[in-house]
Amino acid sequence: MTAALSGTARRRLALALALAVAVGLPALTNTYYVRLATGILMFAALACGWNLVGGYAGYPDFGAAAFLGIGAYTTGVLMARAAVPFPLALLAGAFLAVVAAVLMGAVLLRLRGHYFAIATLGFMLVLQQLAANLELTGGGSGMNLPVARSFTTFYYWMLGVCALAAAAGLFLPRLRVGYAIAAIRENQAAAEALGIAPLPYKIIAYSGSAFVFGLVGGVYAYWFTFIDPPTVFNVDFAIQAIVMTLFGGPATALGPVAGAIVLKSLDTVLTTVSIFLHNVFFGALVCLLVIFAPRGLADLRRARGGILAALRAALRENRI
């Protein structure tokens, strides 16, 4: 029966099936696996969010955790100090993340390459140190949030954020904004010659990414019920999102989700084996990935002449 369907229809069917399985998952398994799945969805959402600015716009944000931290702390402060209901606090956090992205983006997005990457990292470290020195945030000792009644709800929150982020990646390339952003990524000078003012479009991509990171931060804070500066303003969130995006294919809608599912599952297995080993493994994986598959695993599959030939070609491509 599937043979009768066109490629697009088949892809839509697969997507609907995956979504149905995702929605039904908590009813099918126990809390341990729901918790694992929540973690995978969290990183899938981060990877999709990072992909908006790092993949589609080609501006690799190494300080994306700045927005996760803003979302987490806004949600935390509003819930713990002002008893604001969670959904409202979550939205406020994501909104503040977008405001920060617009303000900082107007400055940082004028830089490029290494300079953009490090400046974003610096911005995140500044926020980390601020959070560690302010009274409102509880300083270096962190802050506690109210404990939720059910942890399955977090699964659905993360699923919602992830679906939103993936949908953004799915629809962006079909919108006028998406064409402008792609043009800027491919050749900014040429895009400018066509009358595209680059900065506003880059800010849109950066803000979209910040919105997703802000949402994830808010859900994360309520889920873990405790946050402190080094755990939420953590460079690892950006790095993991980058590696997952690269693994699955940057500037594709579902590549980052696939990357997150594969890598997070692998990571979970390795963490149960050894906590040291899992970091060593992650380091080695990053190295191997960029050496042998700098454009992602999906790209290797498409290569002619089999995987081995593709690996050899990737190795030859970038060395002198």
Partner 1 sequence: MSPELQIALQNAINGLLLGGTYALVAVGFSLVWGVLNVVNLAHGSLVMLGAYVTYWLYTRYRLDPFASLPLTGLALFGFGYPLQRLVINQVIRASFLITFLLTFGLDLLVTNLALAAWTADVRAVTTPYSGRSLALGPLALPLVRAIALLVALAGAALLQLLLTRTRLGSAIRATASDLEAARLMGIPVARVYALTFAIAAATAGVAGGLISLSFPIFPAMGAGYTLIAFVVCVLGGLGSVPGAFLGGLLLGLLQTYAAAWLGPNFDNIVAFSVLVLVLVVRPAGLLGRTERFRG
Q: Half-sphere exposure of 59 toward its Cβ, with a 13 Å CA cutoff?
A: 34
Query: Of 65, 232, 243, 310, which one interacts with partner 1 (CB under 8 A)?
Result: 243
User: Rule CB under 8 A: is residue 300 a binding residue for partner 1?
Assistant: no
Residue 131's Cα: distance from chain center in Å? 22
Residue linked to tokens 């702390």: 73
Give the three-class secondary structure for 115: helix
CB-nearer residue toward partner 1: 119 or 232: 119
User: Rule CB under 8 A: is residue 6 a binding residue for partner 1?
Assistant: no
Shortest distance in whole angstroms from residue 181 CB to partner 1 = 14
x/- track of binding to partner 1 for residues 159-198 (CB under 8 A): -----------------------------x----------
> Long-range contacts of range 12-20, CB-CB < 8 Å, 24 or more positions apart?
19/163
The secondary structure of residue 294, as a DSSP letter, is: T
Q: How far apart are CA 214 and CA 256, in angstroms?
A: 18
Which tokens in the block code for residue 268?
A: 């979970």
Query: Of 24, 146, 294, 306, which one interacts with partner 1 (CB under 8 A)?
Result: 294
Chain positions 13 to 72 lying near partner 1, rule: CB under 8 A, are: 60, 62
Q: What are phi and psi of 156, to 5 degrees?
A: -70, -35
Which tokens in the block code for residue 155?
A: 């699964």
In this structure, are residues 225 and 27 in contact, taking their beta carbons and an 8 Å threshold?
no
CB-nearer residue toward partner 1: 213 or 282: 282
Give the three-class secondary structure for 243: helix
Shortest distance in whole angstroms from residue 242 CB to partner 1 = 7
Query: Of 43, 50, 86, 123, which one interacts with partner 1 (CB under 8 A)?
Result: 123
CB-nearer residue toward partner 1: 46 or 162: 46
User: Rule CB under 8 A: is residue 312 a binding residue for partner 1?
Assistant: no
Query: Of 64, 66, 121, 180, which one interacts with partner 1 (CB under 8 A)?
Result: 121
Residue linked to tokens 């010659």: 193
Give the three-class secondary structure for 84: coil
In this structure, are residues 248 and 258 in contact, taking their beta carbons and an 8 Å threshold?
yes
x/- track of binding to partner 1 for residues 130-149 (CB under 8 A): x-xx----------------
Query: Of 40, 79, 119, 221, which one interacts with partner 1 (CB under 8 A)?
Result: 119
Q: Which of these ranges, 23-31, 115-123, 174-182, 298-306, lies near partner 1 under the rule CB under 8 A?
A: 115-123
User: Rule CB under 8 A: is residue 262 a binding residue for partner 1?
Assistant: no
Q: Specify the DSSP element, H or E, that contains 144.
A: strand 143-144
Q: How far apart are CA 7 and CA 263, in angstroms?
A: 27
In this structure, are residues 213 and 65 in contact, taking their beta carbons and an 8 Å threshold?
yes
Q: Which of these ranges, 12-20, 68-76, 108-116, 166-174, lies near partner 1 under the rule CB under 8 A?
A: 108-116
Residues that bind partner 1 (CB under 8 A): 60, 62, 107-108, 110-119, 121-123, 125-126, 128-130, 132-133, 188, 239, 242-243, 246, 276, 279-280, 282-287, 289-291, 294, 315, 317-320
